[in-house]
Amino acid sequence: MAKVVQFPVNPPAKLGHRKVRKRRRPNLEDFGQLNLFSQSDDAVKVVALPTSDSFFEEALVLDEQGSEDAEKFYLLAIENNESSEDAYCNLGIMKSGQGDLTKAIDYLTKCLKMNPRHFEAHYNLGNVYSDLGNLELAKVHYELSTEIEPEYPNGFYNLGLVLISLKKYQEAIQCINKYVELAPSTEHQIANELIKTLNSIAR
Amino acid sequence: MTREKNPVLSEHFEKLKELLPDVYAKHFKEEKENRNQKLFRMLKHSLGVIEAVYLQNSENFSLSKAEEYAKIIDELKELGYSYSGHHELLGKAANFMIMKAKKPMEKAKGTVKLDDQDRQAM
């Protein structure tokens, strides 16, 4: 009688898509190499690298982000003689924002000591003095800023407001008109209304 | 000891109230007016204290406080009361409010780098 021999049957290879599977990470030490990256990914600390190559620029970036570290970088910029006058000016703005108006004046005047024609420092000092209610000094600094940078509209606007407070309406109208002349059209509405009100008061 | 209400009398007075609301409201109105006048007097007194503090040390009187003072007087006017206030203090408050509309500070941007300009191919 013939003997039935079971024929080995190989399952046919599955055709079609093949999923990608996560490979086991090879142990580098098996290959005679030190495993320097054995710690898990979760423990890796992401360190922000400086985005610019100078302390001042880094400070400016941090300042725009509202980071308090900006102060540290501005001071480093001063120490390293990188745009020192601008760094002092921006430190003044930071201090004013923190409500320390005395320190703000200190930094802004340090900036003017380095460059007496620094228009932003004059303009910002105008803002600080008007916050303090010293309108005469605010007026002087706004006037200086408009003399140095006659194309900057905001200097004329703020000077106009100071002149309104000092009841010098005709001069205020001239300043606000100059602002309208220089500022983009999107900013005209409020200024025009202000001029209309001033005209009715000044008559 | 509490006095019990007479139901007949109470009904009678309720009817009277409906018929003559003005007469019955008058007493209540007067009481309310007196209370408001009393409050107004107290407020005037408080404003006077603020003015005294200002006169004692006007240099250190903060402008935001002057603004609050002016707001109280403004609200009093809106409610129909008249209080002239301290002229100088009101002026300071008005200036402060005007200057609150000022344009913000301007940051200095540093010197512009010109490294990559005018580069020539070798």
User: pLDDT: is A163 or A44 the higher one?
Assistant: A163
Predicted-assembly ipTM surpassing the 0.90 threshold: no
Dihedral sign, Cα of residue A99, residue A105, residue A108, residue A110: negative
User: pLDDT: is B32 or B104 the higher one?
Assistant: B104
A142 CB within 8 Å of a chain B CB: no
The alpha-helical segments, DSSP class H, found in chain B are 7-19, 21-56, 63-78, 87-99
- Please work out, in degrees rounded to the nearest 5, the angle formed at the alpha carbon of residue B49 by the alpha carbons of B44 and B53: 145
Contact A165 B94 (CB under 8 A): yes
Inter-CA distances, B101 with A144, A154, A169, Å: 20, 12, 17
Distance from the A59 Cα atom to the nearest Cα atom in chain B, whole angstroms: 11
Contact B92 A133 (CB under 8 A): yes
DSSP A79-116: HTTSSHHHHHHHHHHHHHHTT-HHHHHHHHHHHHHH-T
Distance CA A9, CA A127 (A): 91
Distance from the A64 Cα atom to the nearest Cα atom in chain B, whole angstroms: 10
Q: Which of residues 60-89 of B touch A (CB under 8 A)?
A: 63
A161's tokens: 């407001």
10 Å Cβ neighbour count for B97? 15
Average pLDDT score, chain B:
83
* DSSP reduced 3-state for B52: helix
Q: What is the pTM of this model?
A: 0.70
Inter-CA distances, A161 with A53, A139, A172, B32, B98, Å: 40, 9, 7, 44, 7
* DSSP reduced 3-state for B113: coil
DSSP B104: -
Inter-CA distances, A77 with A53, A56, A83, A90, Å: 11, 5, 7, 11
Which pLDDT score is estimated for B114? 47
Task: Work out the percent of chain A whose per-residue pLDDT is above 90.
Answer: 67
Distance CA A92, CA B99 (A): 19
B54's tokens: 């200002």
Distance from the B32 Cα atom to the nearest Cα atom in chain A, whole angstroms: 41
pLDDT digits (tens, 9 = 90+) for B45-102: 999 999 999 999 988 889 999 999 999 999 999 999 989 999 999 999 999 999 999 9
pLDDT digits (tens, 9 = 90+) for A71-88: 999 999 999 999 999 999
User: pLDDT: is B112 or A97 the higher one?
Assistant: A97
Distance CA A25, CA A18 (A): 20
Q: How many CB pairs under 8 A join A and B?
A: 65
